């Protein structure tokens, strides 16, 4: 292999376009081809990036020998089958989060990558965010003492995405706000904490605000416009707790709820200090010295984490070195999603050792 990898994009929707833009700027990456079942979005992306090779069936893209690796940016229920097909064709894979709609599928994907000796990296982009890595180093240095509690908020007022499309259809999305936004937060917390052993998860999801999609009023919508004849059978609200062998973790998330507050942060409470990560927007350290309590906030903005993750992907494919977002690293977050949904369904705490 040369000093760059040839990449094919599978899925030219919102994230597929972000993939293409990031690949174009990332070291070690060369965009070669794209595939999508929607001719319109496929042509638009190909034109913008000067791509000559486009495919309406991704199987044809997988036969292209110039393609070393593919990105998978399609609805969640297609992550597993498309990733398995790509691995079978001996391609390395960058698959978007969540890994899959179930932990069982995620394990199948990990096993297939291992058997084929191909890299399978997940798009948990926060692992490539400067702020997240700075916090990880501070926590590991012991500067804020033992972290005993983590509080996670991922709440919006009126932001159900793609109402009536695949995002709100359990058979295609696997779940709602927890699998869509929660996975990012849970994964970054486990990354920072060094994956403490999970003892139990207890949680509850609610699907109340768009039971009749036509009555749901909104301010913004990712993947608009709404399809009022589609289904909405996933949770737009989620809350719960995760007991670990390390810190106690609680979370509250809402694509939408009836309190107008946007709260996107993670608090790490340590015995000697605390850190609030403002999601996507830096962090504040709370500490004290002999004289006074203080608050410190880095001034420098993060570099583009999406570009970083593709540079990291290419580097690990080229060198064979581990990637911080290898599927094995992300499996604990996927397991927590499964335990959350089981807990919500069964109305009880789910223990890891059951
Ligand atoms: N990492 C992030 O920050 C982030 C952000 C947004 C979305 N995502 C993830 O990316 C994935 C896609 O989300 P999106 O917002 O781009 O959705 P989207 O609906 O905008 O795009 C999905 C695309 O997949 C295409 N597609 C469907 N079936 C296909 C098939 N069989 N072959 C080829 N293409 C097919 C659709 O035509 C569409 O263009 C989801 O899993 C989502 O969770 C990640």
What is the per-residue pLDDT across 320-348, written as a single tens digit (0 to 9) for each?
999 999 999 999 999 999 999 999 999 99
pLDDT at 2 over 90: no
Per-residue pLDDT averaged across 112-125, rounded? Answer: 98
pLDDT at residue number 197:
98
Report CA(76)–ligand 1 centroid distance (Å): 8
Tell me which residue of 24, 32, 88, 84 sits closest to 55, measured CA to CA: 32
pLDDT at residue number 314:
98
The residue whose C-alpha atom lies closest to atom 7 belonging to ligand 1 is 15
Note the pTM of the prediction, 2 decimals: 0.97
Locate 325 and state its tokens.
Answer: 């977002």
User: What's the N-to-C CA distance of the chain in angstroms?
Assistant: 46
pLDDT at 181 over 60: yes
CA distance 295 to 297: 7
CA distance 34 to 51: 8
- What tens digit of pLDDT does each residue of 209-257 get? 998 999 999 988 988 899 999 999 999 999 999 999 999 999 999 999 9
Per-residue pLDDT averaged across 168-193, rounded? Answer: 98
Examine residue 279 and say whether the peptide bond preceding it is cis (omega within 30 degrees of 0). no
Report the chain's mean pLDDT, rounded to a whole number. Answer: 97
CB 163 within 8 A of CB 223: no
pLDDT at residue number 219:
86
pLDDT at residue number 234:
98
pLDDT at residue number 250:
98
Pocket of ligand 1 (CB under 6 A): 10-16, 35-38, 41, 58, 73-76, 78, 96-97, 123, 125, 180, 223
Report CA(314)–ligand 1 centroid distance (Å): 21
Report CA(100)–ligand 1 centroid distance (Å): 13
197: enclosing H helix or E strand: none
Percent of the chain whose pLDDT exceeds 90:
97
pLDDT at 1 over 80: no
pLDDT at residue number 155:
98
Report CA(135)–ligand 1 centroid distance (Å): 30
Report CA(206)–ligand 1 centroid distance (Å): 24
pLDDT at 183 over 70: yes
CA distance 60 to 21: 23
Domains, in order of start, for the chain = 5-126+306-325 (3.40.50.720), 132-302+334-351 (3.30.360.10)
CB 221 within 8 A of CB 191: no
CA distance 92 to 112: 11
Examine residue 225 and say whether the peptide bond preceding it is cis (omega within 30 degrees of 0). yes
pLDDT at 59 over 70: yes
Locate 89 and state its tokens.
Answer: 């064709």
- Whose tokens are 């996107």? That residue is 264
- Mutation choice for ligand 1 from 34, 40, 56, 73, CB with most ligand atoms inside 8 A: 73
């Amino acid at each position: 292999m040369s000093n760059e990898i040839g990449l094919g994009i599978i899925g030219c929707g919102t994230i597929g376009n972000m993939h293409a833009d990031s690949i174009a700027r990332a070291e070690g990456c060369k965009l070669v081809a794209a595939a999508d079942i929607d001719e319109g979005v496929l042509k638009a992306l190909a034109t913008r990036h000067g791509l000559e090779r486009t495919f309406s069936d991704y199987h044809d893209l997988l036969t292209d020998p110039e393609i070393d690796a593919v990105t998978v940016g399609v609805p969640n229920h297609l992550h597993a089958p498309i990733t398995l097909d790509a691995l079978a064709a001996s391609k390395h894979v960058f698959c978007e989060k969540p890994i899959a709609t179930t932990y069982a599928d995620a394990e199948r994907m990990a096993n297939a990558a291992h058997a084929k000796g191909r890299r399978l990296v997940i798009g948990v982009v926060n692992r490539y965010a400067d702020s997240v890595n700075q916090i990880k180093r501070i926590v590991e240095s012991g500067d804020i003492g033992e972290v005993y509690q983590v509080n996670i908020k991922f709440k919006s007022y009126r932001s159900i995405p793609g109402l009536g499309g695949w995002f709100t259809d359990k058979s295609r999305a696997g779940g709602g706000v927890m699998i869509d936004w929660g996975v990012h937060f849970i994964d970054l917390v486990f990354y920072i904490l060094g994956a403490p052993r999970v003892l139990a998860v207890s949680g509850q999801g609610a699907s109340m605000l768009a039971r009749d999609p036509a009555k749901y009023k909104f301010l913004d919508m990712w993947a608009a416009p709404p399809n009022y004849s589609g289904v909405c059978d996933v949770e737009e609200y989620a809350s719960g707790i995760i007991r670990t062998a390390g810190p106690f973790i609680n979370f509250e998330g809402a694509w939408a709820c009836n309190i107008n507050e946007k709260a996107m942060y993670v608090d790490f409470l340590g015995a000697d200090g605390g850190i609030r990560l403002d999601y996507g927007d830096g962090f504040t350290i709370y500490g004290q010295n002999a004289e006074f309590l203080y608050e410190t906030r880095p001034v420098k903005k993060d570099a583009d984490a999406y570009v970083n993750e593709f540079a990291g992907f290419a580097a690990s494919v080229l060198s064979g070195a581990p990637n911080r977002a290898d599927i094995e690293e992300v499996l604990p977050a996927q397991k927590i999603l499964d335990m959350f949904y089981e807990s919500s369904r069964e109305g009880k705490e789910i223990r890891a050792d059951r």
